[in-house]
Each structure stands twice: as C-alpha cells, then as structure tokens.
Amino acid sequence: MSINQSLRPVTTEKRDHIYIGGCDTVELAKKYGTPLYILDEETIRGICREYKSAFRDYKNIRMMYACKSLCNLAVLRIVDDEGFGFDTVSSGEIYTAYKAGVNMEKVLFNGNNKSSEEVELALDLGVGRFSVDNFYEAELLNRFAQDKGKTVDVLLRITPGIECHTHDYIQTGQVDSKFGFDLSQVDEIINLIKIDYNNLNLKGIHAHIGSQIFETRSYYDEVEILIKEIARIKTVHGIALEEMNIGGGLGVKYTENDCPPSVEELANAVTEAMKQALEKYSIEEPVIYIEPGRSVISTAGVTLYTVGSFKDIPGVRKYVALDGGMADNPRPSMYQAKYTAEVANRMNNSETEIVTLAGRYCESGDILIENIELPCLETGDIVCVYNTGAYNYSMASNYNRVPKPAMVLVNNSQSDMIVSRESLEDLTARENIPDRLRQQ
C-alpha cells in the first residue's frame, strides 16, 4: 500500500496511548500544549522515495514539491534532502526555500498574479524556472529580466480543458479557470516571445488539472493534450520544447471511504500515456516535471486537541468542543472536508458514543468532524485528528484573535519544535496606535 493510501503516519502505534515517530502523543500534548501539529519525518521521506521509485523507468523525470501544501524551513530541508525541487507560488515560499538553503535552480515560480516585487525577488535569488500564466506577466517578467541583463527560462501554463472529479474550488484544468493561457491564446504568446520578449527562453509547457484527484484517467487525458500541443508548436513555430510540467494533485485518504490511487498507479498512468503519445505524435521525449504536494505531506501530519466543554441535545446530537477548529483547520468549513480521529489517551476503552467534534471559534459552521464514534470523552482528553499535514497550517489564520499552534517534528522517539506557538504578544507585534489616537 502506498503511503498516500494510509489514514495514519507510517510510524503510528496504538499502545495505551497513540505513538507517532516513537513519541507518546499524550506526552507531546503535555510538553508542547494543544492544539499541536505533529509531523512524522519517516512518513515524509517514505513518500518521497515512493515517488522516485515509481517513476524509475522514466529517466527524464523531475520531482517538485508543491510548497503551498505546507512550507517551512524544516519541511523544505527534508524534501530537498530527498532530491525534490520546489513549486512556489509567492515571494514567501521563494524566500523560505532560499533560507532553507536549497539550490534555487530547482525552484519554479508559479501563480496567476505575480507582483513586480515578487518577480524581482525571484530573479535576484536565482529562481530556475518561471511558469508564465498570462500576457501581463510575460511582459512584466521580460522587462525585469532585460533591466537585470538576464535571460529567464519559462514554461507556458495552459488550461487543458479537463474537468476532474474533485471539489469545484480545487479544479484548475477546466476551460473556465483563472489560471493559465487558453489553448487558443498559445500562438499569440509564443509569437510575442519570439519577436518581442527576447529575455524569455521558452523551455516547455505547464498544466495542472486539480487537487485531491482519485482518477488516473485524468492524467492520461492531460498527457495526451500536452504532447499534442508540443507537437503542434513544433510544426507551427519550429520550436522543440524540452520540458512538460503536468502538475500534481494525487489524492490522499482522509476517511475509510476514500480510495485514492497509489503513487505507482499514478506513475504507470503517466508513463504509459507518455509512451502512447510520443509514438502517436513523433516527438522527442521531454523532461517531465511532476508537482506532488498534498500526497507528500498530508499523511505525515496529525493535529492534537484537548477536549473542553460539552453540549448534549437529547434526540439531536452531542457536541464535544475542542481547543482548536476552523482557524487551524479551515478545510471542513471551506471544502466540507472529512477527517478521521481517535482519542490518544483512551486506546483501551471499549465504551463508545456518537459525538460531533466542534471547534472553539465563534461560527456555527466551525465543526471539525460530524457524527463520529469515539470512546466516551471527558474534559482534558486528547483527540488526535489524522491526515492534517496539508493545507491545515498553510491555511491557518488568527480568527478570533487566537494565536496559531506550534508544529513538532518527530523521528526515532525524538521531538523537535519546528514552528513555535504564537504568543499573545505576537498578535500585536506589528500593530501601532497613531499618536492622534493616543491624545486624550
């Protein structure tokens, strides 16, 4: 079984308590407080190695970690150590990669509305690739590169017209999308690059069809469309593109009902589609870039919460309030995402009840998990929610003026703080009262 098909980190042990990375999660909650994000290093490294092994038969493959799923110094160091490059979408992600000490040639800058300041920073820090999303950006990037006397390697991001079966908010490849050039616009942008934008070096094309994808057929269709377009560009423009970025999007298992494809199944689909398309369109084998994010980091993460208050409505439901919620995990409220949880300190309890795990924030929609069967809970119990590595901390907020949680990396019975818990002082550190408001 592939790691992305597991509900729990690979080192999870159920003794009297839940152990991850050899560490007792109940003791971690006592030491670091809750809510607490925990990442299992062995799980991260394991899935990275699965990706490299699965694509072993396609020699021209480059793995790029999608930083938006979770970006901090320690995570980028681990992923860099496993030989991945980085797909970034902001100056913050670029700067984090730089501070983590990665080779900036392995960094791609993606996104649909890059600012002048972000483009300049990326050029100054030596980002290796830009995925050009629109006409405005092409002109902007060429102008800055020209001013700095640089030639920049670029990919054209296109929308391939594929609608994969996932949540509407995380589809990105359909025709009606804010991302990329429509296929009808490709000739125009290529002509601009050939004639006017002499500081842009066109290397390939880039597409992304969505996130939390469960159907490998979508990748077959994407590869076919991209190879066909590469062949057409060669015929029409005389340009032999060397690179093809197919994005990421492989799904993970949040509940027992989820059945995502394995990494091996993804690799088989992509390589078989490549073989067929290359034969059909008679072009040279391009370098393939693939950008997994969620499937690299999600399973490695869990979040610990402490049980607080209760509200039992006879004949309706029993609410159990936790000390976190939609600010540290907005996905249930935003995407109606489902999760799996266990009670870390009650592994041996047989008496159970159906409850709804509610967050502590002032929103009726702040519900983490509805109607879950758990051991009978008491105030102070520790609830462990699985598969929270991706898009939890990276989308976290200070809603209700609550400080963001800490994050701990575990491995071989050792725990290390990799993101400190925010303090109340942190919440006001960048704020100021104008002098005129101080006057009495």
DSSP letters of 149-160?
T--EEEEEEEE-
Which residue do the tokens 């030639």 mark?
Answer: 151
Closest CA to 33 of 328, 245, 401: 328
pLDDT of amino acid 438: 87
What is the mean predicted confidence (pLDDT) over 27-53?
A: 98
Give, in degrees to the nearest 5, the angle at Cα 274 between 269 and 278: 155
Q: What is the tens place of the pLDDT at every residue in 62-97? A: 999 999 999 999 999 999 999 999 999 999 999 999
Supply the DSSP string of 270-318, one letter for each residue.
HHHHHHHHHHHHT-PPPEEEE---HHHHTTTEEEEEEEEEEEEETTTEE
In a domain, 288, yes or no: yes
pLDDT of amino acid 126: 98
* CATH number for the domain harbouring residue 394: 2.40.37.10
* CATH number for the domain harbouring residue 188: 3.20.20.10
Q: Is the pLDDT of residue 405 over 70?
A: yes
pLDDT of amino acid 322: 98
In a domain, 290, yes or no: yes
Question: Is 384 part of the annotated catalytic residue set?
Answer: no
pLDDT of amino acid 175: 58
Q: Are residues 266 and 147 in the same domain?
A: yes
Contacts of 189 (CB under 8 A, 6+ apart): 132, 135, 138, 156, 181
Last residue of a domain, which of 297, 315, 334? 297
Q: Are residues 266 and 357 in the same domain?
A: no
pLDDT of amino acid 179: 79
Q: What is the tens place of the pLDDT at every residue in 191-205? A: 999 999 999 999 999
Q: What is the tens place of the pLDDT at every residue in 142-173? A: 999 999 999 999 999 999 877 644 434 334 44
pLDDT of amino acid 373: 97
Burial annotation 327-339 (CB, 10 A radius, 16+ → b, else e): bbbbbbbebebbb
What is the mean predicted confidence (pLDDT) over 418-432?
A: 97
Quote the CA–CA distance of 249 and 267 in Å, as a whole number: 13
Peptide bond into 35 cis (omega under 30): yes
Q: Are residues 188 and 280 in the same domain?
A: yes
CA 200 to chain centre: 28
Would you place residue 350 in the very low, low, confident or very high pLDDT band (cuts 50, 70, 90)?
A: confident
What is the mean predicted confidence (pLDDT) over 31-48?
A: 98
User: 357 has which bridge partners?
Assistant: 320, 369
Q: Are residues 290 and 346 in the same domain?
A: no
Quote the CA–CA distance of 293 and 376 in Å, as a whole number: 36
Q: Are residues 292 and 309 in the same domain?
A: no
Output the six-digit token pair for 380: 């102070």
Supply the DSSP string of 401-421, one letter for each residue.
GPPPPEEEEEETTEEEEEEPP
Alpha helices, H only, 314-353:
331-335
Q: What is the tens place of the pLDDT at every residue in 16-38? A: 999 999 999 999 999 999 999 99
Across all residues in the chain, what is the average pLDDT?
A: 94
Closest CA to 60 of 261, 269, 271: 271
Q: Are residues 147 and 206 in the same domain?
A: yes
Burial annotation 380-402 (CB, 10 A radius, 16+ → b, else e): ebbbbbbbbbbbbbbbbeebeeb
Q: Are 82 and 73 in contact (CB under 8 A)?
A: no
In a domain, 53, yes or no: yes
Quote the CA–CA distance of 256 and 269 in Å, as a whole number: 24
Q: Are residues 50 and 162 in the same domain?
A: yes
Return the SS3 of 187.
Answer: helix
pLDDT of amino acid 440: 63
In a domain, 12, yes or no: no
Q: Is the pLDDT of residue 411 over 80?
A: yes
Output the six-digit token pair for 226: 């991209």
Return the SS3 of 367.
Answer: strand
In a domain, 150, yes or no: yes
Q: What share of the chain is helix, strand, coil (3-state, %, to 5)?
A: 35, 25, 40
Which residue range(s) make up the domain with 333? 301-424
Catalytic residue among 48, 164, 362, 384: 362
Handedness of CA 200, 203, 207, 213 (dihedral sign): negative
Q: Is the pLDDT of residue 45 over 60?
A: yes
Q: Are residues 399 and 291 in the same domain?
A: no
What is the mean predicted confidence (pLDDT) over 302-309?
A: 98
- CB count within 10 Å of CB 153 equals 17
Closest CA to 112 of 206, 224, 187: 206
> What is the spatial order of strands in the sheet that 18-20 belongs to?
13-14, 18-20, 23-24
Q: Are residues 102 and 88 in the same domain?
A: yes
pLDDT of amino acid 178: 79
Does 137 or 218 have the greater pLDDT score? 137
Q: Are residues 100 and 150 in the same domain?
A: yes
In a domain, 340, yes or no: yes
pLDDT of amino acid 163: 60
Between the alpha carbon of residue 292 and those of residues 213, 217, 297, 321, the distances in Å are 11, 17, 9, 34
Q: How many domains does the chain have?
A: 2
Output the six-digit token pair for 168: 């509407």
Q: What is the tens place of the pLDDT at every residue in 360-385? A: 999 999 999 999 999 999 999 999 99
Output the six-digit token pair for 350: 């047989």
In a domain, 9, yes or no: no
Q: Are residues 373 and 400 in the same domain?
A: yes
In a domain, 55, yes or no: yes
What is the 8-class DSSP label of residue 40? E
Q: Are 434 and 64 in contact (CB under 8 A)?
A: no
Q: Are residues 242 and 311 in the same domain?
A: no
